[in-house]
Chain A
Amino acid sequence: MELLVASAIGVLTAAGLYMVLRLRTFPVIIGVSLLTYAVNVFLFASGRLTPGAPPILTDAEVYTDPLPQALVLTAIVISFGMTAVVVVMALGSYLGADEDHVNDPPPADPADAPSGREDAA
């Protein structure tokens, strides 16, 4: 079980990072979503994996740490909202500029280029 969870986090993170490094906004957003899935599982596992136990302090011998579950809920809600925002903004940007590259377009007139070319990432 530990191996399964750990490799799931690893694969999700690797796939997410690969997608984030793409040039167009849609794959990048998918990549960010994958990364948030990975981090949610990671947060969940940070309270140790205890299958089949109640997430509450009781008189029982075995219980699961409830706090990571609360943290994950918060993180899920926030990342969901943020993803919605970035999808809407990316759509607006695509419809406004008629292209969806993440980086800045090359300037039409090189003499008039914005100074900070390295921030194009």
Chain B
Amino acid sequence: MSHWIILPIILPALLAPFIVLAARYHIGIQRTLSVAGAAALIVLAAAQAWTASDGTITIYQLGDWAAPFGIVLVADRLSTYMVLLTSVLGFFVLLYAIGSKWDARGQHFHALFQFQMMGLIGAFLTGDLFNLFVFFEVLLIASYGLMIHSGGAVRLRAGVQYVLYNLLGSTLFLFALGAIYAETGTLNMADLAGRVALIDAGDSVGIRVAAVLLILVFAVKAAVVPLHFWLPSSYAEAPGPVAALFAIMTKVGAYSIIRVYTLIFPPDLEVTAGLQGLWLLPAALLTVAIGMIGILAARHLDRLVAFSVIGSMGMVMIAIALFTPEGIAAALYYIAHSTLAAATLFLVADMVRGGRADLALRAEPALPGAALIAPMYFAAAIAMVGLPPLSGFIGKLLVLDAAIASPLVVWIWAVVLGTSLIGLVGFSRAGSVLFWKASATPPAENAEPRPAPGALAYTAVGGLLALLLALTVFAGPAHDYATAIAGQLFETGDYISEVMETPGKLSNPAEGH
């Protein structure tokens, strides 16, 4: 039993209360602890990803209870990949929050941030559906605090909408879990995979309802149209670094769909055949269209970026909805790309906000520090829209390539290519209004000079852009690894036998203990 699988959850879980209790009034100590924790998380996540990269599945039984009686954490290629992505994103977002002094504009930013990391990482590592629900709640309740960090009436109102929408999502999740438990008598993912496969196809009403409820919940998290309404307001009103961190939250929904609908309800399963493929792909196409049209229609930069998140989630969902190894591999590559690109854009939008009255897309005098902010905006926008040479182009190419075998290939190609053009126009218009027309607008006479962003803020955004560049340069190895992850996902036998056959307490119920 390797205890270090649970370390990435334990570390932020201990750090957060320590920050609240011991370093409450010392922002310097909070920052040091938080950054040290985030850096340690990267090391842990990288070590776990390295261990899992050769196909090893490591499990951790909490309290040494054997599955399905106890909760297990499972570190396979997919979960360690997502944990690594989360910890890297968290580190740079944290640097930006410190560099832009967002963390000092309210109480407890660092503690909430650590709890958020704990929830995210736990959701990726757990091998139990109810535990997934609990980690969803951990990350949500931390996100409620982060979302309304530093307050304000507009932000609070958006926060209330966000919380209410997510409470409804959580209720739906519980209904789905209850239905699954009533049908199968277990909530362990590996055990479920075995039991769902045994259900008679003629007696499948309950499990079909449960499968659809579950995918609805994950679609809410992943902001799939028509369940995306919570996203634009909350991401646009959240503080910049928080919105950047939220870029990974939609991916939790995508991850859950990949995990549950390859392991428990695989596409070739007779009981739930045709449930997800039928409408998930059209919904994903609609998501891309709504997102990209939203980019063109947005009048504020923060809303524009929020809609680009919806659009990129649509791309991810198109690739997932194919439910082929090639599609999942493309989705995994696109998940990494879109997380980094969206986070960069949110941070750039926050830098722009610092130099203007608001983020409305109208010409105003030049921003302080525009010489660096403008190229950063354009690099991130190029990546997000999917123009060569950055990773968005490669990601879209992979999705289009994976879609060739689909019966809807004409629709997919038409929607993806058409909406890319719309997104391109939207991003270029916003960029030229914000940065180019600025030089033609003279500053007001009595305007106070606004401060330019600090060096640490630039470093954080630059770091994210460097990661995007690395994802582009090493696209070959990255895609090979994504293919390996997808291969492991479709070979569910290893996962199930590793979880179910590892001995622990109660692994032989007849013995009593």
**Using a CB–CB distance below 8 Å, which chain A residues touch chain B?**
20, 25, 28-29, 32, 35-36, 39-40, 42-43, 45-48, 65, 67-68, 71, 74-75, 78-79, 81-83, 85-86, 89-90, 92-93, 96-97, 102-104, 112-116, 118-119, 121
* Contact assessment for B164 and A39 in the assembled complex, using a CB-CB cutoff below 8 Å: no
Beyond A86-B163, A119-B229, whether A39 also contacts B297 by CB under 8 A is: no
* Contact assessment for B233 and A74 in the assembled complex, using a CB-CB cutoff below 8 Å: no
Contacts of A29 on B, CB cut-off 8 Å? 164
Q: How far is the CA of A73 from the CA of B300 in the complex (A)?
A: 44
Beyond A113-B299, A116-B303, whether A46 also contacts B181 by CB under 8 A is: yes
Beyond A89-B163, A92-B156, whether A121 also contacts B229 by CB under 8 A is: yes
* Contact assessment for A93 and B156 in the assembled complex, using a CB-CB cutoff below 8 Å: yes
* Contact assessment for B137 and A97 in the assembled complex, using a CB-CB cutoff below 8 Å: no
Beyond A82-B167, A119-B231, whether A46 also contacts B153 by CB under 8 A is: no
Contacts of B360 on A, CB cut-off 8 Å? 112
Asked if B141 CB lies within 8 Å of chain A CBs, one says: yes
* Contact assessment for A35 and B171 in the assembled complex, using a CB-CB cutoff below 8 Å: yes
Contact of B157 among A83, A97, A115, A118 (CB under 8 A): A97
Q: Which of B273-323 contact A (CB under 8 A)?
A: 294, 297-300, 303-304, 306-307
Contacts of B137 on A, CB cut-off 8 Å? 78, 82
Asked if B170 CB lies within 8 Å of chain A CBs, one says: yes
Q: Which of B152-198 contact A (CB under 8 A)?
A: 152-154, 156-157, 159-161, 163-164, 167-168, 170-171, 174-175, 177-179, 181-182, 185
Nearest-neighbour CB distance to chain A for B182, whole angstroms, equals 4
Nearest-neighbour CB distance to chain A for B199, whole angstroms, equals 16
Sample 7 A-B pairs with CB under 8 A, ordered by A number.
A29-B164, A39-B178, A45-B178, A82-B140, A96-B151, A114-B236, A114-B300
Nearest-neighbour CB distance to chain B for A96, whole angstroms, equals 4
Beyond A42-B175, A42-B178, A102-B161, whether A85 also contacts B297 by CB under 8 A is: no
Beyond A39-B171, A89-B163, whether A96 also contacts B303 by CB under 8 A is: no
Size category of the B interface is: 35 or more
Asked if B475 CB lies within 8 Å of chain A CBs, one says: no
Q: How far is the CA of A118 from the CA of B164 in the complex (A)?
A: 17
Q: Which of B129-153 contact A (CB under 8 A)?
A: 130, 134, 137, 140-141, 144, 148, 151-153
Q: How far is the CA of A78 from the CA of B141 in the complex (A)?
A: 10
Contacts of B140 on A, CB cut-off 8 Å? 82
For A71, give the chain B residue with the smallest CB separation.
B130
Q: How far is the CA of A74 from the CA of B177 in the complex (A)?
A: 13
**Contact digits for B207-240, partner A, Cβ 8 Å, 1 yes 0 no:** 0000000000000000000000111110010000
**Using a CB–CB distance below 8 Å, which chain B residues touch chain A?**
130, 134, 137, 140-141, 144, 148, 151-154, 156-157, 159-161, 163-164, 167-168, 170-171, 174-175, 177-179, 181-182, 185, 229-233, 236, 294, 297-300, 303-304, 306-307, 360
Nearest-neighbour CB distance to chain B for A107, whole angstroms, equals 10
Beyond A93-B153, A115-B300, whether A32 also contacts B167 by CB under 8 A is: yes
Contact of A115 among B154, B164, B229, B297 (CB under 8 A): B297
Other A-B contacts than A25-B160, A112-B299, 18 sampled, CB-CB below 8 A, are A20-B168, A36-B174, A39-B171, A39-B175, A65-B185, A68-B178, A74-B134, A81-B141, A93-B156, A96-B156, A97-B154, A112-B360, A113-B299, A114-B299, A116-B236, A116-B294, A116-B307, A118-B229
Q: How far is the CA of A103 from the CA of B160 in the complex (A)?
A: 10
Q: How far is the CA of A43 from the CA of B170 in the complex (A)?
A: 13
For B181, give the chain A residue with the smallest CB separation.
A46
Q: How far is the CA of A119 from the CA of B151 in the complex (A)?
A: 21
* Contact assessment for A71 and B177 in the assembled complex, using a CB-CB cutoff below 8 Å: yes
Contact of B233 among A43, A78, A90, A104 (CB under 8 A): A104
Contacts of A92 on B, CB cut-off 8 Å? 148, 151, 156
* Contact assessment for A78 and B153 in the assembled complex, using a CB-CB cutoff below 8 Å: no
Contacts of B130 on A, CB cut-off 8 Å? 71, 74
Q: How far is the CA of A92 from the CA of B147 in the complex (A)?
A: 14
Q: How far is the CA of A29 from the CA of B170 in the complex (A)?
A: 14
Q: How far is the CA of A114 from the CA of B164 in the complex (A)?
A: 21
* Contact assessment for A85 and B299 in the assembled complex, using a CB-CB cutoff below 8 Å: no
Contacts of B160 on A, CB cut-off 8 Å? 25, 86, 89-90, 93, 102
Contact of A35 among B163, B168, B231, B306 (CB under 8 A): B168
Contacts of A45 on B, CB cut-off 8 Å? 178, 182
Contact of A104 among B157, B159, B230, B294 (CB under 8 A): B157
Contact of A82 among B141, B156, B232, B297 (CB under 8 A): B141
Q: How far is the CA of A36 from the CA of B137 in the complex (A)?
A: 14
* Contact assessment for B232 and A116 in the assembled complex, using a CB-CB cutoff below 8 Å: yes
For the complex of A and B, the 10 pairs showing the least CB-CB separation, nearest first, are A96-B153, A46-B182, A93-B156, A116-B232, A115-B298, A46-B178, A97-B153, A39-B174, A43-B178, A119-B232
Nearest-neighbour CB distance to chain A for B65, whole angstroms, equals 13
Contacts of B229 on A, CB cut-off 8 Å? 118-119, 121
For B295, give the chain A residue with the smallest CB separation.
A115
Nearest-neighbour CB distance to chain A for B512, whole angstroms, equals 10
